[in-house]
Chains A and B, each alone.
Chain A
Amino acid sequence: EAGVAQSPRYKIIEKRQSVAFWCNPISGHATLYWYQQILGQGPKLLIQFQNNGVVDDSQLPKDRFSAERLKGVDSTLKIQPAKLEDSAVYLCASSSNALVDEQYFGPGTRLTVT
């Protein structure tokens, strides 16, 4: 079974630029999560999708971050404009349903904002 795929793996941009990350979850997984992991901290949930609907985006900085999950499969996370404090690893995870099931994590995208 293929795991959660993310791209790019690394990205360096200047502040005020825009950037987009892509996630392809495990086939058939209805629930998709985006987490932000700042160096030295645990991952923090940004947004949770159930199929193509948003379950929770309360911690997503909506003035600069946006996310979508068209057709309930792939998802993109965008930052526009980026700030220095957005430097982090962005992790995508998926699970088979919204109940207590194992979340499978992708390798992450490491973003550096200079």
Chain B
Amino acid sequence: AQSVTQLGSHVSVSEGALVLLRCNYSSSVPPYLFWYVQYPNQGLQLLLKYTTGATLVKGINGFEAEFKKSETSFHLTKPSAHMSDAAEYFCAVSVAESGYALNFGKGTSLLVTP
């Protein structure tokens, strides 16, 4: 079975600072990895995904993530945080054997301070 672990349930950064949200995965087969964002009272929105190919993936709103197989990691970064980035972020993994259903981590709440 596959799973993800998100390190840090709450992360606080200053506006303009680097955003780093950590995600480690466990999978016995090649995984597909995702980052979703959830704003209050809204559904989940896909930020970016890794399937195959280039390990550095760029997403929406200036976010990117790098798939590192040797470290079983898929950390999310953004060079400069904006106030509007404050939200809940979820890392997820899927594999073909599970019909590509998503297995989510517990989420990281990002707080951006002025």
- Chain A residues near B (Cβ < 8 Å): 3-4, 31, 33, 35, 40-45, 48, 50, 55-56, 91, 93, 95, 98-103, 105-108
Contacts and interface: CB of A to CB of B under 8 A. Distances in A.
Nearest to A44: B104
Q: What are the 6 A-B residue pairs with the smallest beta carbon separation, nearest first?
A: A42-B104, A105-B43, A105-B44, A55-B99, A45-B101, A107-B43
B32 A100 contact: yes
Size class of B's contact patch? Answer: 20 to 34
Interface of B: 32, 36, 41-46, 49, 51, 90, 92, 94, 98-107
B102 A102 contact: no
A41 B4 CA distance: 12
A26 B107 CA distance: 26
Q: Which of A91, A100, A106 has the most CB atoms of chain B within a 10 A radius of its CB?
A: A100
A56 B104 CA distance: 16
